[in-house]
């Protein structure tokens, strides 16, 4: 699905720190995907309970929505690190390598700026939601912890973007050839 | 400067950033943020960036995405797709072009588990090419059938594009799934007719395989029957109103997981890979959705969809004419942009146009999806063709593009049928309970 799938940054140039961060992001992703399994099981139990015992799980929609927040945000950073977010390279792929890297640098500086602003705004939103004690309607689960989780995952995404940016700078300057 | 002009400039900048290789979700968010700031000021723009991503990610309707993606990767890693192909081969492999026909039917079956054409294309290329070469099939026919067949995953439910379309337009995903059944099967039949004609004209490109006995056919891979069972549960459950699409996804994934565990086809490492690939796909789709929602706020403020709707309304007032104009636009854009990104960019703009003209949302959803997946086969972008080329490294890319061309004609034929006969996509949804 992604045009640049598999062109992530796993290479011999990876420093121990990068390898550590990649492993950490993968762990975060796997924890998030654990919620896919939980969501699957809860939904099946809900459907069976509804038809078999006339006892559906109350607040399933709310539970699934909160799990979805974790699932989507927890996977964003590793996906970025793996180079699997969709990009269209049909034009830039024709340029010389260093020009490509220069353009990528510029795009990733903009990306990093956007993510920093998003982290800031998400934390602000979390503080506000915590203050007004905004909760879900059925199970009365507060929203703010999940907003903070989203902010944390945006931060991880920022780290992944920063690491890719450093690689692009290396390529643009000719220090990294691959 | 008028709002429309600001919106248009925003869209142009967005496309520019995308073609300069900025990740699409970032381009959407960035243009959305700056665009809203230009029109309404920085404070509302920043508030949008702080609220829309979380609100989007917590929309229950998206829960169907990770569940079906999980099911698809489970089916892939537990070897169900391979077993399905092996089973179908025993039933129809002895006909001229029988293995190519098996690829089409196998893809249709695998499409019932995986909504992603690229996964299907990669799986079937790796699986079928060596065997079909052994029986003397031409690479062009083999890879053309694989590429064309993979498109069926995008049409036969559960299709990821239907889910995204349904969620963006608030159209029933269940109705879209059910509405996609007839067009999906018609496309499979058109492919089968094309292969049969090609092999009739030149028997050397697809010689028949040895005939299997009836016993061998009935004993053909349990995976074949398992996939048929999963399809029946998902589609049957939605059709008779037993399940919502999310529940169908959960039930399908649960059945495939239990089958894989019972048959010892899924090791712990396989399972971790399934989770990893599910995460990568979900992360990619999820962030695209978030970007789209931020961009949409900007598009709605600048009234871009409404203005384009009135423009197209001025070009033609016939429903089918409008749909053909849209198909033409999608075909051109589809040559450069992935079908998922295309759906996310174009649906918010085009949907109001067709709604205004009274086109049924399910009908439009199906026309849109067929036209957007076709781009996966067309040069220069053709992501499915590139995916196949990654597996079949010794076959020139040009040969693969040539191989899929006859099947592209089938897709255009299907579009004509669906546009002029809306009941092909609306009859089954109307019968839903």
> What three-state secondary structure class fits B264?
coil
| pLDDT score of B368 more than 90 | yes
> What three-state secondary structure class fits B255?
helix
Domain annotation covers residue A7:
no
Structure tokens at B106: 């196998």
Q: Percentage of chain A with pLDDT > 90?
A: 54
Q: Which residue of B has its CA nearest to A129?
A: B51
Domain annotation covers residue A5:
no
Cα(B425)–Cα(B422) distance, integer angstroms? 6
| pLDDT score of B345 more than 50 | yes
Q: Which of A4, A23, A25, A43 to mutate to test the interface with B (most CBs of B within 10 A)?
A: A43
Q: Percentage of chain B with pLDDT > 70?
A: 96
Q: Which of A69-73, A131-135, B11-15, B381-385 has the lowest mean pLDDT?
A: B381-385
Q: What is the pLDDT of residue B232?
A: 80
Q: What is the pLDDT of residue A3?
A: 43
Nearest CB neighbour to A87, from listed B21, B250, B287: B21
| Max Cα-Cα span within chain A | 66
In this prediction, residues B357-379 reach a mean pLDDT of: 88
| pLDDT score of B62 more than 80 | yes
| pLDDT score of A12 more than 60 | no
Q: What is the pLDDT of residue A5?
A: 41
In this prediction, residues B261-277 reach a mean pLDDT of: 89
Q: How confident is the model at residue B381 (pLDDT cuts 50, 70, 90)?
A: low
The number of residues making up chain A comes to: 178
| pLDDT score of A6 more than 50 | no
Please state, rounded to an integer, the average pLDDT across all residues of chain B.
84
Q: In B135-207, which residue ranges form alpha helices assigned H by DSSP?
A: 139-155, 160-169, 173-179, 181-201
Give the structural domain span for A163.
Answer: 16-172
Domain annotation covers residue A11:
no
Q: What is the pLDDT of residue B332?
A: 80
In this prediction, residues B394-403 reach a mean pLDDT of: 83
A135 forms beta bridges with A142
Closest chain A C-alpha to B19 CA, distance in angstroms: 6
Domain annotation covers residue A32:
yes
H helix or E strand, kind and range, residue A91: none
Q: Which of A86, A129, A141, A146 to mutate to test the interface with B (most CBs of B within 10 A)?
A: A86
Axis-axis angle for helices B245-262, B64-77 (nearest 10): 20
Which DSSP state fits B213? Answer: P
Q: What is the pLDDT of residue B222?
A: 65
Q: Are A171 and A7 in contact (CB under 8 A)?
A: no
Q: What is the pLDDT of residue A176?
A: 64
Q: How confident is the model at residue A85 (pLDDT cuts 50, 70, 90)?
A: confident
Domain annotation covers residue A24:
yes
CA atoms within a 13 Å half-sphere pointing along the CA-CB vector of B76: 26
Q: What is the pLDDT of residue A25?
A: 94
Which DSSP state fits A8? Answer: S
Q: What is the pLDDT of residue B223?
A: 66
A142 forms beta bridges with A135
Closest chain A C-alpha to B93 CA, distance in angstroms: 30
Q: What is the pLDDT of residue A7?
A: 44
**Alpha carbon separation from B116 to A31, B315, B329, B344, B376 (Å, rounded):** 24, 35, 23, 16, 11
Cα(B111)–Cα(B118) distance, integer angstroms? 11
Cβ burial of A130 (10 Å; 0-12, 13-18, 19+) is: middle
Give the tens place of pLDDT for each residue, B173-182.
888 988 888 8
Cα(B17)–Cα(B26) distance, integer angstroms? 9
| pLDDT score of B385 more than 80 | yes
Q: What is the pLDDT of residue B138?
A: 86
Give the tens place of pLDDT for each residue, A42-58.
999 998 888 777 778 88
Cβ burial of B72 (10 Å; 0-12, 13-18, 19+) is: buried
**Alpha carbon separation from B388 to B11, B32, B138, B148, B401 (Å, rounded):** 32, 35, 15, 11, 10
Contact B58 A26 (CB under 8 A): no
Domain annotation covers residue A131:
yes
| pLDDT score of B18 more than 90 | no
Q: How confident is the model at residue B313 (pLDDT cuts 50, 70, 90)?
A: low
Give the tens place of pLDDT for each residue, B77-103.
887 777 777 777 778 777 888 888 888
Q: What is the pTM of this model?
A: 0.81
Q: How confident is the model at residue A2 (pLDDT cuts 50, 70, 90)?
A: very low
> What three-state secondary structure class fits A135?
strand
Q: What is the pLDDT of residue A69?
A: 95
Answer with the residue of higher pLDDT: B106 or A106: A106
Which DSSP state fits B211? Answer: P
Asked if B392 is an interface residue toward chain A (Cβ–Cβ < 8 A), one would say no
Cα(B43)–Cα(B334) distance, integer angstroms? 36
Q: What are the two backbone dihedrals, phi and then psi, of residue A142, each rounded to the nearest 5 degrees?
A: -70, 145
Asked if B131 is an interface residue toward chain A (Cβ–Cβ < 8 A), one would say no
Asked if B127 is an interface residue toward chain A (Cβ–Cβ < 8 A), one would say no
Answer with the residue of higher pLDDT: B261 or B93: B261
Cα(B287)–Cα(B299) distance, integer angstroms? 18
Please state, rounded to an integer, the average pLDDT across all residues of chain A.
86
**Alpha carbon separation from B222 to A90, B88, B288, B319 (Å, rounded):** 42, 11, 37, 46
Give the tens place of pLDDT for each residue, B20-44.
889 888 999 999 999 999 999 999 9
Q: How confident is the model at residue A13 (pLDDT cuts 50, 70, 90)?
A: low
Domain annotation covers residue A1:
no
| pLDDT score of A11 more than 60 | no
Cα(B185)–Cα(B155) distance, integer angstroms? 9
| pLDDT score of A131 more than 70 | yes
Q: What is the pLDDT of residue B44?
A: 93
| pLDDT score of A1 more than 50 | no
Domain annotation covers residue A177:
no
How many structural domains does chain A have? 1
In this prediction, residues B111-119 reach a mean pLDDT of: 67
Contact A72 B21 (CB under 8 A): no
Q: What is the pLDDT of residue A4?
A: 44
Q: Which of A22-26, B11-15, B384-388 has the lowest mean pLDDT?
A: B384-388
In this prediction, residues B203-207 reach a mean pLDDT of: 80
Q: How confident is the model at residue B168 (pLDDT cuts 50, 70, 90)?
A: confident
Tell me the chain A residues in contact with residue B276 when contact means C-beta distances shorter than 8 Å: 26, 29-30, 33
Cα(B69)–Cα(B65) distance, integer angstroms? 6
Contact B254 A68 (CB under 8 A): no
In this prediction, residues A86-99 reach a mean pLDDT of: 80
């Amino acid at each position: 699905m992604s045009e640049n799938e598999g062109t992530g940054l796993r290479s011999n140039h990876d420093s121990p720190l990068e390898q550590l961060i990649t492993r950490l992001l993968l762990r975060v992703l796997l924890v998030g995907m654990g919620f896919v399994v939980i969501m699957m099981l809860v939904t099946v139990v809900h459907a069976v309970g509804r038809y078999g015992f006339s006892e559906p799980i109350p607040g399933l929609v709310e539970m699934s929505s909160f799990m979805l927040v974790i699932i989507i945000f927890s996977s964003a950073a590793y996906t970025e690190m793996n180079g699997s977010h969709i990009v269209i390279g049909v034009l830039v792929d024709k340029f010389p390598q260093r020009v490509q890297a220069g353009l990528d640098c510029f795009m990733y500086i903009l990306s990093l700026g956007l993510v920093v602003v998003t982290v800031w705004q998400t934390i602000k939103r979390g503080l506000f939601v915590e203050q007004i004690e905004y909760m879900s309607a059925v199970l009365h689960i507060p929203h703010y912890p999940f907003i903070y989780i989203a902010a944390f995952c945006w931060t991880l995404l920022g780290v992944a973007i920063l690491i890719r940016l450093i690689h692009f700078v290396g390529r643009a300057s000719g220090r990294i050839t691959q | 400067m008028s709002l429309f002009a600001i919106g248009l400039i925003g869209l142009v900048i967005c496309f520019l950033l995308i073609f300069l290789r900025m990740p699409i979700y970032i381009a959407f968010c960035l243009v959305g943020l700056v665009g809203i700031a230009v029109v309404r000021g920085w404070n509302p723009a920043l508030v949008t960036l702080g609220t829309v991503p979380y609100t989007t990610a917590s929309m229950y309707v998206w829960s169907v995405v990770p569940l079906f993606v999980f099911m698809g990767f489970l089916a892939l890693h537990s070897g169900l797709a391979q077993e399905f192909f092996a089973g179908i081969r025993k039933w129809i492999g002895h006909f001229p072009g029988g293995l190519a026909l098996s690829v089409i039917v196998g893809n249709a079956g695998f499409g019932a588990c995986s909504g992603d054409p690229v996964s299907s294309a990669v799986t079937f290329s790796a699986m079928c090419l060596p065997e079909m070469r052994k029986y003397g099939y031409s690479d062009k026919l083999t890879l053309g059938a694989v590429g064309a067949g993979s498109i069926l995953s995008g049409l036969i439910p559960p299709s990821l594009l239907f889910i995204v379309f349904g969620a963006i337009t608030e159209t029933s995903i269940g109705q879209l799934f059910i509405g996609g059944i007839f067009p999906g099967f018609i496309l499979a039949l058109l492919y089968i007719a094309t292969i049969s004609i090609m092999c009739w004209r030149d028997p050397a490109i697809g010689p028949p395989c040895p005939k299997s006995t009836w016993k061998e056919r009935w004993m053909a891979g349990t995976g074949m029957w398992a996939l048929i069972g999963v399809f029946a549960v998902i589609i049957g459950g939605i059709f008779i109103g037993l399940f919502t699409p999310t529940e169908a996804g959960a039930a399908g994934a649960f059945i495939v997981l239990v089958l894989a565990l019972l048959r010892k086809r899924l090791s712990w490492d396989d399972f971790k890979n399934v989770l990893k690939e599910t995460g990568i796909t979900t992360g990619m789709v999820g962030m695209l959705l978030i970007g789209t929602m931020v961009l949409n706020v900007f598009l709605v403020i600048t009234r871009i969809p409404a203005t384009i709707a009135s423009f197209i309304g001025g070009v033609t007032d016939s429903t089918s004419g409008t749909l053909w104009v849209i198909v033409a636009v999608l075909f051109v854009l589809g040559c450069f942009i992935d079908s998922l990104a295309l759906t996310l960019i174009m649906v918010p703009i085009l949907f109001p146009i067709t709604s205004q003209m009274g086109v049924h949302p399910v009908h439009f959803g199906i026309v849109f999806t067929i036209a957007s997946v076709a781009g996966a086969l067309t040069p220069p972008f053709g992501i499915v063709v590139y995916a196949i080329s990654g597996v079949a490294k010794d076959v020139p890319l040009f040969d693969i593009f040539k191989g899929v061309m006859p099947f592209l004609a089938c897709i255009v034929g299907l579009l004509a049928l669906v546009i002029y006969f809306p009941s092909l996509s609306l009859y089954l949804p109307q019968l839903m309970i």
